């Protein structure tokens, strides 16, 4: 689906990869409804949109609030009159601890944002998308959704659920005008750690510092995602690390899991 003259909803549009998705969608001629829980971040996105801001609507919303999500289509229709696409980008990570040390409020928060937020948005907008001549749903899973990361087990479980949710949805919607894409980002330089309220993990590099090896900028990641959606791809792997681990996990899931475990053990045991 080409984005020109389409109305696209993007969750998590106030910062990081979500902000870049919004800005690049505007550059491709889309009208965008950017949704985020942080109004200040959304205002910054609107400022960065510059002369494209007239095609941008910013809506403060907690995607874990089902009632608020169910009211969202009417808010967007009042501005743009329709919706042609949905990108469920909003997500958080968990503290870098083992499951035994993870409290239930955090477990519920991760599942509510990453999984239930995606379900609420998808279920709410799907009837409207089915009425469009063509439409698209893209859900952001993670490399952690197909290979285990010690210290991010509940995050990975939520993203694995998003993966199966999206793949199942694609099967159900075969033959309709709604195409579906599941996205698997590897390491992307964003402020997700701070936005998740997690401490003790490295954030984005400061000015002049190098990003971690194989980590993509949010700008590059957003371009890959949007290119994949425009080509109606069912799966989009974002970054060399995601592509490598996707291949290894298919070749030998146990060996791939051990490789990740060895790489992450120092952080987990520190």
Smallest CA-to-CA distance from 147 within 225, 240, 250 is with 250
CB-CB contact of 224 with 238 (8 Å):
yes
Q: Is 120 a catalytic residue?
A: no
Catalytic residue among 96, 125, 155, 184: 155
Q: In which element (H, E) is residue 136 found?
A: strand 135-140
| For the chain, counts of helices (H) and of strands (E) | 10, 9
Phi, psi of 237 (to 5 degrees): -100, 125
Query: Residues 108-116: contacts with CB within 8 Å, 24+ apart?
Result: 110/154, 110/155, 110/158, 111/154, 111/157, 111/158, 112/64, 113/63, 113/64, 114/155, 114/158, 114/159, 114/162, 115/158, 115/161, 115/162, 115/165, 116/64, 116/66
Q: Which residues face 57 on adjacent strands?
A: 33
d(CA 34, CA 42): 7
Q: What residues are labeled active site? A: 155
């Amino acid at each position: 689906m080409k984005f020109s003259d389409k109305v696209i909803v993007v969750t998590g549009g106030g910062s990081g990869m979500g902000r870049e998705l919004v800005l690049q969608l505007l550059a491709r001629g889309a009208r965008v409804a950017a949704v985020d829980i942080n109004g200040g971040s959304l205002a910054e996105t609107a400022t960065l949109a510059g002369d494209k801001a007239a095609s941008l609507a910013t809506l403060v919303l907690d995607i874990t609030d089902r009632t608020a999500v169910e009211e969202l289509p009417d808010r967007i229709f009042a501005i743009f009159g329709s919706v042609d696409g949905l990108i469920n980008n909003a997500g958080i990570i968990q503290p870098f601890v083992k499951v035994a040390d993870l409290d239930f409020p955090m477990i519920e928060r991760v599942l509510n944002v990453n999984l239930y937020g995606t379900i609420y948005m998808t279920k709410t907008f799907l009837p409207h998308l089915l009425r469009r001549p063509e439409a698209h749903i893209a859900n952001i899973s993670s490399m952690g959704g197909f290979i285990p990361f010690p210290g991010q087990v509940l995050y990975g479980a939520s993203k694995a659920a998003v993966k199966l949710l999206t793949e199942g949805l694609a099967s159900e919607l075969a033959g309709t005008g709604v195409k579906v894409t599941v996205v698997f980002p590897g390491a992307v330089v964003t402020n997700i750690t701070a936005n998740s309220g997690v401490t003790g993990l490295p954030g984005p590099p400061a000015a002049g510092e190098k990003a971690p090896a194989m980590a993509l900028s949010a700008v590059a990641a957003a371009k890959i995602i949007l290119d994949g959606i425009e080509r109606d791809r069912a799966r989009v792997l974002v970054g060399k690390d995601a592509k490598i681990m996707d291949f290894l996990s298919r070749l030998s899931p146990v060996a791939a899991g051990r490789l990740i475990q060895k790489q992450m053990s120092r952080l987990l045991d520190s």
